[in-house]
């Protein structure tokens, strides 16, 4: 009986390391207006973790967090062709967030925008 205990503990430790906690519910979107780079995160354990992950994904020292999402919120970001003009939105559903992000971007640029990312938090 005791021989299986270390194996069980190892499986639990691995699962905890690769699966986000059930309470993970923060996201963020980051953008660099100079280069057009962007990054986003979802289902992070805290607002700070969400911001850090989005900034890391953006991979530019000039990236700034441009908006955040919370529990049960979906976020989306759309940009023009060079990525320097963006529009973002958070809504209760992914489809609604995507549509609003495209509309917000097109209001700013007056031209067609492309969806670059969208995700939903638990």
Average pLDDT, 10 consecutive residues per value, the chain (122 residues)? 51 46 83 97 98 98 98 97 96 98 96 96 95
pTM above 0.85, yes or no: no
pLDDT of residue 24: 75
For residues 46 and 26, what is the distance between their CA atoms, to the nearest angstrom? 6
pLDDT of residue 3: 59
Rounded to whole angstroms, what are the CA distances from 121 to 4, 43, 83? 36, 5, 24
pLDDT of residue 13: 43
Residue 82 has which token pair?
A: 């060079």
């Amino acid at each position: 009986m005791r021989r299986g205990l270390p194996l069980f503990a190892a499986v639990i430790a691995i699962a905890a390391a690769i699966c986000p906690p059930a309470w993970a519910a923060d996201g963020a979107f980051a953008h660099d207006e100079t280069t057009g780079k962007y990054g986003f995160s979802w289902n992070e354990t805290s607002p700070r973790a969400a911001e850090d992950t989005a900034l890391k994904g953006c991979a530019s020292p000039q990236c700034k967090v441009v908006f955040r999402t919370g529990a049960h919120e979906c976020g989306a970001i759309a940009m023009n062709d060079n990525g320097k003009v963006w529009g973002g939105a958070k809504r209760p559903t992914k489809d609604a967030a995507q549509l609003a992000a495209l509309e917000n971007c097109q209001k700013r640029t007056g031209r067609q925008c492309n969806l670059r990312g969208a995700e939903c938090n638990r």
